[in-house]
């Protein structure tokens, strides 16, 4: 949840942030309910291992999509904080 909101805030124009966050929350809520329902049906019909045949390809697809579509826009500061390191 935290990462998706951060990505949305970083990638969306300021006047569209509210609408985009609403879409994100709706997708999360629908996905939570549908995921529990679908997994319950799968467990009633098949073995628990069948859940991995669905979730692993979705995870691989999401990872590949993120690597291709998401671009780094932040800057990295190369200054060292020795006080922070020592504390």
Domain extent listing, the chain = 2-86
CA distance 12 to 73: 12
Q: Tens-digit pLDDT profile for the chain (87 aa)?
A: 778 888 888 888 889 999 999 999 999 999 999 989 999 999 999 988 999 998 899 999 999 998 998 877 667 777 666 776 676
CA dihedral 55, 61, 24, 69 (to 10 degrees): 170
CB contact set of 1 (below 8 Å; sequence gap of 6+):
28
pTM (2 d.p.): 0.58
């Amino acid at each position: 949840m935290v990462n998706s909101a951060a990505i949305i805030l970083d990638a969306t124009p300021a006047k569209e942030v509210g609408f985009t966050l609403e879409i994100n929350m709706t997708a999360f809520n629908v996905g939570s309910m549908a995921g529990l329902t679908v997994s319950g049906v799968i467990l009633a019909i098949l073995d628990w291992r069948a859940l991995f045949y669905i979730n692993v390809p979705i995870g691989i697809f999401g990872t590949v999509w993120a690597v291709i579509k998401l671009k780094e826009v932040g800057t990295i500061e190369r200054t060292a904080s020795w006080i922070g390191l020592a504390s």
